[in-house]
Amino acid sequence: MDEVFLNLFRKKMVEEVGWDSRKPGYDGLVEVANRLMLKSPTNSHTKEAAVRILRSLFPPMLLQLYKLLIAPIQGGKVAAIMVARVTAITCEWLMGPCTVNSVDLPDGTSWNSGVFVEKCKYLEQSKCVGICVNTCKLPTQVSNSILKFSVKR
């Protein structure tokens, strides 16, 4: 499954960037991500492109149904916990080993809705914090800080 996810994600990145690397596999994906950063005039443009890429990975109706049916449950708690678990299971190919962790919220409660990345493969391979932050970390965070990625350095 990891190879399927890698190929699908890379294909969507290539469509957004309009260019593909000659390198195979993960190394090629990192080159495409680097090209995305170079192509974008600002970090905000890079982040917006990454969000478009992530959204393109899902059938549009699925995202709408999720937003309508799952996101409202318990003020978003169920959705945040589900996203964290799915991310930890399905994104090891991109980031390396990761686990669900507890996130402290401003109201004093905590939810098991964070994703802890032990040693981020994407950051290590790209050797660029900008690529990590603008094409992965920020685009995947929910604006209300329910879902956070933390990377052990």
pLDDT at 145 over 50: no
pLDDT at 142 over 60: no
- The domain tally of the chain equals 1
pLDDT at 149: 43
pLDDT at 148 over 80: no
Band of residue 56 on the pLDDT scale cut at 50, 70, 90: very high
Q: Which two tokens stand for residue 72?
A: 């409202």
Which alpha helices (H) appear in 24-149, and where do they start and end?
25-39, 43-56, 60-65, 77-90, 92-95, 121-126, 129-132, 138-140
Give the residue-averaged pLDDT of 79-98: 93
**In angstroms, rounded to a whole number, what is the distance separating the alpha carbons of residues 146 and 73?**
14
Band of residue 26 on the pLDDT scale cut at 50, 70, 90: very high
pTM score of the predicted model: 0.85
Band of residue 67 on the pLDDT scale cut at 50, 70, 90: confident
Band of residue 42 on the pLDDT scale cut at 50, 70, 90: very high
C-alpha distance across the termini of the chain, in Å: 27
pLDDT at 120 over 50: yes
Tens digits of residue pLDDT in 125-138: 999 999 999 999 88
Full residue range of the structural domain in which residue 64 is found: 2-151
**In angstroms, rounded to a whole number, what is the distance separating the alpha carbons of residues 32 and 94?**
14
Give the residue-averaged pLDDT of 41-69: 91
pLDDT at 61: 93
**Strand, coil or helix: what is 21?**
coil
Band of residue 141 on the pLDDT scale cut at 50, 70, 90: confident
